[in-house]
Structure 1
């Protein structure tokens, strides 16, 4: 078994003992978002299915912060994390992970359930396209890099940046989401199924999802330069949406099941197989858990490269195609280039203050990506 630089005791806590190629360990620890979140609910449903079919005991360790969800995984106390965009930030070495004690992390994806997000306004705003958002009030959440980078990416689809709008900052995601209904902002970004979106739909203002059409290849090139984990998506679930009136918005992955790059291939293979074989037990747990079908969750784009153990099972199922292999190779090359640049940059700038270190690394990060 390939081991990270962990003590055997820590590894045993996370994995509950070694896994056979076609078997699961007796117990596991998973990290996830807070109790009550969609991520925690879906992790719980899958854990319950694993217990029923295989007798595996799983303890879920929730946290309200990206660092809190990643530390158990990186420290060997958890085998898998049910994560979100912090997976991308961690592999890029950006946001919370740009500090000297972090940098690009060597993470891998097992699967990621498709979800969607979009830029939303009211019917009464008169805004029809993302280009027309220029000069309007955009609601963002203070300190929520995960949401805010998605808004920045959506603006880039029309060649706009955050400098082209009037930013209105709110202390919580819920407050930002409610801002259009309350007349405090004109536009915001978020999931189609949040309660605030249904409230906007039911209000006299009405709701409108601004289109991000797949046919606009130039716009998509700009968007994926900011958020390479996005893909075109036709959403039929959520406020103001239906099969008859879908929203042409963007796909992302949440939750994403993440592990370490050097997690044992056989163990990850067994986990991926178990995720597939228990699908019938958890697929109806929520309105979207049916999207964990590997045909949807086992393909890119996603926030990090896929793990070799997962790829082996996906190939056996006929899901992993040449297209997926090409995407994964590009994503892996990006990660490896950033890791190499970080190693050099950190060694050469160890005496900088944290503020200057982060600023310099951000510039180096952008240089590396521009060279790929």
Structure 2
């Protein structure tokens, strides 16, 4: 993978024209490498803007390795080539050791969160505006896209269906070879719905088409609906999206769902000083970079979900304790996630030490069964059956 070095020269968007640090006692290496989404992505752009801050204020140059898929982004982290990844929801799948991470070269990863960004957009099922859908329950009988080889998108769709008390059996599943093609299909009236980010170009194209677009409402007060959704995909959280394709905005937000993107992670072996310095800069220098790239506002302290699905790095926890932003409930949740991580990793070691199948699919199936048994033995939700 070709290494791209983030351009760190001062510009109108460069942060920190002076050397007056908002964050004190910051100790970072001279060079910090990370993986991120491709060069045109929001995640990459955000990391460049944060790299500007680190270069201009703290003398740390940031090298960004763009990866076109989840495996290419997370492999350098796994093998120790980089200490950080600005990843997507696949980081949670890596934590759980499922889907693309259930293969013999992966298994559950010792992933720890530094910070996340939850911005103005949402994530969910976009629906053609001419099929009379107001809530996920209205998707019954509709033509819903299934993307071959994209577990994350299909899991998101499954979760939205669950909110409405539906499964794939209650809709007409339409298979597509890729995510973009599914929206071509909706515009051509061959399908009615597909999962995406609320500001993604395919959603904008659907909104501009004769069919138009609607985002099904997820009532935050619908406790049973949210319980069903989170049983499928616990990383979702209620969210009012003020940025969404179609007739949505600050005055008419989409009452839907989201999850963080990107998710800045390291392994549990990431040194404490780097982890602590990074979260300190991101929180205390927020005003210096919040407007430097679209989505940067999502790193604000108020936007951090302190009881999410991946544990924080220990040094990040210590920082939150220092600033008085940590509760007993948060610690209890953190301890539960660390315990879950240990249960999964111990189960993986035990499974691999046994007589595992040589066939890749049989290997994955055997692991998923062993994984489920280990979690059930600790009275933990399996989530991925």
After TM superposition, the score normalised by the length of structure 1 is 0.88
Report the Cα distance in structure 2 between the residues aligned to 1:252 and 1:30, rounded to whole angstroms: 21
Superposition deviation, residue 342 in structure 1: 2.0
Which residue does the alignment assign to 2:253?
246
Which residue does the alignment assign to 2:20?
none
Report the Cα distance in structure 2 between the residues aligned to 1:241 and 1:312, rounded to whole angstroms: 39
Equivalent pair of 2:219/2:255 in contact (CA under 8 Å): yes
Which residue does the alignment assign to 1:262?
269
Q: 2:144 aligns with which of 115, 124, 138?
A: 138
- What CA deviation, in whole Å up to 9, does each residue of 1:11-41 have, x standing for no partner? xxxxxxxxx9731111111111111111111
Which residue does the alignment assign to 2:85?
81
Report the Cα distance in structure 2 between the residues aligned to 1:357 and 1:261, rounded to whole angstroms: 26
SS at match of 1:232: strand
Which residue does the alignment assign to 1:271?
278
Q: 1:184 aligns with which of 180, 183, 190?
A: 190
Are positions 1:56 and 2:60 aligned together? yes
1:330-349 matched pairs, under 5 angstroms: 330-349=336-355
- What CA deviation, in whole Å up to 9, does each residue of 1:254-304 have, x standing for no partner? 1000001122222210111122233223211233211111221363424x2
Shifted more, 32-41 versus 354-363: the winner is 354-363
Are positions 1:296 and 2:303 aligned together? yes
Q: 1:177 to 1:48 in 2, by over 3 A?
A: farther
Report the Cα distance in structure 2 between the residues aligned to 1:141 and 1:216, rounded to whole angstroms: 28
1:1-150 matched pairs, under 5 angstroms: 22-115=26-119, 116-150=122-156
Equivalent pair of 1:295/1:319 in contact (CA under 8 Å): no
SS at match of 2:259: strand
Superposition deviation, residue 352 in structure 1: 4.2
Shifted more, 53-62 versus 69-78: the winner is 69-78
Superposition deviation, residue 209 in structure 1: 0.8
SS at match of 2:43: helix
Report the Cα distance in structure 1 between the residues aligned to 2:369 and 2:192, rounded to whole angstroms: 32
Equivalent pair of 1:298/1:319 in contact (CA under 8 Å): no
Shifted more, 101-110 versus 350-359: the winner is 350-359
Q: 1:326 aligns with which of 323, 332, 339?
A: 332
SS at match of 1:324: helix
Gaps of 5+ in 1: 1-19
Superposition deviation, residue 182 in structure 1: 2.6
Q: 1:192 to 1:96 in 2, by over 3 A?
A: same
Superposition deviation, residue 119 in structure 1: 1.7
- What CA deviation, in whole Å up to 9, does each residue of 1:95-127 have, x standing for no partner? 111112211111100011014212221221012
Q: 2:209 aligns with which of 203, 211, 229?
A: 203
Superposition deviation, residue 132 in structure 1: 2.2
